[in-house]
Structure 1
């Protein structure tokens, strides 16, 4: 109904899809699915019904410009010094959970064949289950994963696998042998909560960080810094002779700014996380429009089997080794949730279980996942490729 060269109309439609995703997430059904999956499925239906074109010059602009810009914007809040200072014990639990995901990914890749793109898929899905959707996108860009049908299938499988994981994780405290295996310590008094990380506040409230008054110049500064980092990353990538150098370069540069830039300068950056999320959501809409129904369904089943194995291995190792390393079940559950579902989910799980002393540490180590997941995903792809 809308031609591929009608750029402004296409942009309006993409933003409408993203807006529906945002408002749908406020409903109970939408919270279960999440905005990215709603955007993906809605755009997939629209694309396969012929309302919008599956390919258009605008989509290439979004994928080539907005996605690289989004990565620094999402990482400006990753203050790793705060993570290690405030949550040392949880950091070790999170590192264990990360290793469990890597082992699960390697075992899953050995048992399930996902076709010619298997090395890329293993790296991308492992990155998502250590960091989040931003790492999914960053890793896919780094390893050259561009097939829209496979992309949509992978994102759908990613969401369904996360639901399977959460179901298993939430059932652990009710299994008495597991609870006895951990021999949880008596309840400790809640310590004074440390200052929350900027990224966690931004993702939870969708507001400006640290209570700073927002300003137009702060928004412009965020985009300016992101564009500058992308330009420098492109320059650095020309000197590095390996795949994924551009994404690695902008990730490292973003983390350097987040951790070593003067605090006064970082305080002037406004709505960086929100902008990065918006750019990623628009990208998801373009991916859904380009996916083919038949190809997606056929490809999704092996990915679901792979993720089921990854999750099962992760849970088994969590129960076995977590207790042997003298972590409580609560600590391992929050670390595992931060690893696979992200900081917001870890905080929500801790709050719902009454583990208030684990809310902030869970959020903080989730930020650590954002920082390391893309590197791990690229390494796994190269290892298996």
Structure 2
């Protein structure tokens, strides 16, 4: 077994790489025109992919789990300090419809992948159900359905590798879409147009958007302290609710729904943050630097997104699974961008809706943040997190139908 130059236990070295490469990505994006067109998100992601496949850094490590478990939850409230509840609810309804359309694309892709490849994929019905759930909600659904359907360990591991690599590649495609003339010609792009107008007003330099601002020690203290408090309250409350409301196969649908809605830490974190920020809007509006801190955390997340893409591991364990999942992702994309166009959704809304299906609400919110589509951050977090609830049921139904 090939080991990486930096061991998975070298936590400080790995953090130095993640934090340092995130900083380099931001610097390049704000300093060079070519990098601003590629975006710092892609630079962060691709850099990690290259180093993993050169065996410089490991594909799995506790340090990466820390980003998922702690850095991302902290980033969410920091980036919601300017949220307006009224605007959120006005815009979420439209995105919910698009998200559900995108989920239908996942189901269609699952059926097509199954009927075209089930003879080569072991336990194909279980894989289809598990990945339908994963590509509707996220990793939470993957874990839940793999346990529920008793998916063999080796198959689940191979599916995770294929899932992560395909997610990274699709993420790359979605980032490129707004830069391609075909999509700009054929789809409305109000959020991109607004960003370009801001860029023109700031002399076309991405760095101007993030120019130096007045910030004090008190701002940093209030920003970080508030974020920690909101995460702690939300996650602890979710634990309590999860224990109070029963859930499982033998429990009524309504209880499962309530548990999924109120027992999910991310959904509660988003909801509680928005409510607190709306009620105490003057306090949060006076905090400077929260958006900058949250965005930097998100860039660290972009680095971690590229890490699981170990090509040798995929080639040895999951080549057919990669094709299987590629079919599912392809039909999710085709349905989202075809039906979305018919209903006159914007390109940006279609991108984040499809992203929320394939990668989950955190990746979709991170994408919106990286692109500067600030009005889409909260709605897609709310809508995408509901995918965690829908995903388990949709994945189970697909599996039982195929069985």
TM-score normalised to structure 2 length: 0.63
| Residue aligning to 2:12 | 8
* In structure 2, distance between residues paired with 1:163 and 1:301: 21
Deviations 1:199-220 (A, max 9, x none): xxxxx945899x9977222223
- Does residue 293 (structure 1) correspond to residue 311 (structure 2)? The answer is yes
* In structure 2, distance between residues paired with 1:368 and 1:272: 19
Deviations 1:287-328 (A, max 9, x none): 5444421344635444443333222222332344x2xxxxxx
Deviations 1:28-73 (A, max 9, x none): 5544544334323221221232222334443333333323333444
| Residue aligning to 1:182 | none
* In structure 2, distance between residues paired with 1:56 and 1:333: 36
| Residue aligning to 1:252 | 268
- 1:158/1:343 Cα in 2 relative to 1: closer, same or farther (>3 Å)? closer
- 1:332/1:42 Cα in 2 relative to 1: closer, same or farther (>3 Å)? closer
- 1:322-341 paired onto structure 2 within 5 Å: 322=343, 329=344, 332-333=346-347, 335-336=349-350, 339-340=353-354
- 1:239/1:304 Cα in 2 relative to 1: closer, same or farther (>3 Å)? same
| Paired positions, count | 322
| Residue aligning to 1:39 | 44
- 1:101-140 paired onto structure 2 within 5 Å: 101-113=102-114, 117-126=127-136, 139-140=138-139
* In structure 1, distance between residues paired with 2:52 and 2:332: 31
| Residue aligning to 1:364 | 375
- 1:18/1:42 Cα in 2 relative to 1: closer, same or farther (>3 Å)? same
SS state at 2:143 partner: coil
The one of 296, 309, 317 equivalent to 2:331 is: 309
Q: CA deviation at 1:74?
A: 4.0
Residues 59 and 308, structure 2, Cα contact 8 Å, conserved in 1: yes
| Residue aligning to 2:282 | 264
- Does residue 17 (structure 1) correspond to residue 21 (structure 2)? The answer is yes
Residues 222 and 287, structure 2, Cα contact 8 Å, conserved in 1: yes
* In structure 2, distance between residues paired with 1:276 and 1:141: 23
User: 4+ residue runs of structure 1 moved beyond 6 angstroms?
Assistant: 211-214, 341-349
- Does residue 278 (structure 1) correspond to residue 277 (structure 2)? The answer is no
- 1:67/1:118 Cα in 2 relative to 1: closer, same or farther (>3 Å)? farther
